Amino acid sequence: MAVSDSGRSATPVSVSSNGADQAEAIKAIRLRHPWRNVVAVVLLAVLVLFVVDASQREAYGWDNFGKYIFDRRISQAAGYTILLTVYSMIIAIVLGVTLAVMRLSDNPVVKGIAWLYLWVFRGTPVYVQLVFWGLFATIYSTIEIGTPFTEPWLSVETNDLISVFWLAVIGLALNESAYMAEIVRAGILSVDKGQDEAATALGMSWLQTMTRVVIPQAMRIIIPPTGNEVISMLKTTSLVTAIPFSLELYGRSRDISVVIFDPIPLLLVASAWYLLFTSILMVGQYFLEKRFSRGVGQARPEKAGTETGVITLKTGVIQTPGATSDSAARTDSAAGTDSSTDPSGKEHR
């Protein structure tokens, strides 16, 4: 054991075979967290009490819950909810990418129009927008195609051209595209400017640079919030009753509850279907994030036979064979004498 100058013992050391000092392993003691365990037990107890109480409470109507959970009308409504979500997100993503590129444009008019679009659709509630889309046929009773200030070539009734379902899709998509535009713009800005310059130096066009260089690298930033927006869109479809469109999950559950005069079990039925779809989307989002984050912030596992280690290097002076004897002679003369005299005869060190 080594002893310091003050007389106190220092860290124990051992001498290895090559003569290097090697510190002994430190025995780590795990830090205890008693209050953390107490809080966990309390939370579990509260959860168990809630579940037991809910299972015995008649107001939840578990018999009607089991009766309508797989009802044909509820299953069809779940299908409409999925269609609303998929169609709305496809349109929203396409519009969002377009608006993001417009926001990054050097043209002030294009940039201003994109900013105005985002200002309107992000600044007003989605429920109010859906109400306006429900009144679209009242505002524009007919859709006419032709030259301005002349007789139209074609005139079609709005109700005959656009159904309530597609009005709901358009209303949800236009609102969501404003948020997707900001997500895509943030992803594009996260890519280093040198990537764009390198693609231009290789002779790529703007479209090739965006589709082959910028967007693939930006997907790592775009995927997580986009997954959250898809889950949010799934739940936002419950607001299309403002149009009104009541064939989706929440609207259909509400219609059935009005008939049987028992709203609580039907609300639980709709919640169970929403939780099922949300869980599936969360799993898909996890694997997408894992796919696009490969090689970022993670060390790749080493394969057998490719282990890495420390390579010991020895440095020195490379001498030619003829200069070896001369250098040895100079070394011996320097070691044998440690003083010299100058021309005046004075000896000095």
The helix/strand/coil state of 61 is coil
| Beta-carbon-side half-sphere exposure of residue 67 (alpha carbons within 13 Å) | 12
Amino acid 267: pLDDT:
93
Inter-residue contact 178 to 88 (CB < 8 Å): no
Which of 5-9, 65-69, 203-207 is modeled with the greatest confidence?
65-69
Residues 280-324 have pLDDT tens digits of: 999 988 888 888 777 665 544 555 544 454 444 445 555 555 554
* Mean of per-residue pLDDT scores for the chain: 81
Residues whose CB is less than 8 angstroms from the CB of residue 125 and which lie 6 or more positions away in sequence, other chains included: none
Residues 151-196 have pLDDT tens digits of: 878 888 888 888 899 999 999 999 999 999 999 999 888 888 888 8
Confidence label for 340 from pLDDT (cuts 50, 70 and 90): very low
Helix axes 263-292, 249-260, angle to 10 degrees: 170
**Exposed/middle/buried for residue 179 (C-beta within 10 Å: 0-12, 13-18, 19+):** buried
Using alpha carbons only, give the angle 295, 301, 305 rounded to the nearest 5 degrees.
130
337 pLDDT higher than 80: no
234-263 mean pLDDT: 91
The span from the CA of 303 to the CA of 317, in Å, is 38
6 pLDDT higher than 60: no
125-154 mean pLDDT: 86
Amino acid 312: pLDDT:
47
Confidence label for 326 from pLDDT (cuts 50, 70 and 90): low
313-336 mean pLDDT: 49
Amino acid 48: pLDDT:
95
The span from the CA of 105 to the CA of 206, in Å, is 12
205 pLDDT higher than 80: yes
258 pLDDT higher than 50: yes
The span from the CA of 201 to the CA of 335, in Å, is 63
143-158 mean pLDDT: 80
pTM above 0.75, yes or no: no
The span from the CA of 81 to the CA of 234, in Å, is 7
95-101 mean pLDDT: 92
Amino acid 286: pLDDT:
87
The helix/strand/coil state of 116 is helix
Inter-residue contact 187 to 109 (CB < 8 Å): no
Neighbour count for residue 283 (Cβ, 10 Å)? 10
* DSSP H/E element including 340: strand 340-341
- Report the range of poorest mean pLDDT among 33-42, 101-110, 216-225: 216-225
The span from the CA of 285 to the CA of 227, in Å, is 6
The verdict on whether omega for the bond into residue 244 sits within 30 degrees of 0, i.e. cis, is yes
Neighbour count for residue 344 (Cβ, 10 Å)? 5
Closest to 65 (Cα-Cα) out of 258, 264, 235? 264
90 pLDDT higher than 80: yes
Inter-residue contact 147 to 200 (CB < 8 Å): no
Q: Which residue has the tokens 């967007």?
A: 215
Residues whose CB is less than 8 angstroms from the CB of residue 252 and which lie 6 or more positions away in sequence, other chains included: 73, 74, 76, 77, 246
Q: Which CATH code for domain 81-248?
A: 1.10.3720.10
DSSP state letters, 157-176: EHHHHS-HHHHHHHHHHHHH
Closest to 250 (Cα-Cα) out of 278, 272, 276, 280? 272
- Report the range of poorest mean pLDDT among 51-60, 191-200, 273-282, 306-315: 306-315
Residues 14-46 have pLDDT tens digits of: 555 555 566 777 888 888 888 888 999 999 999
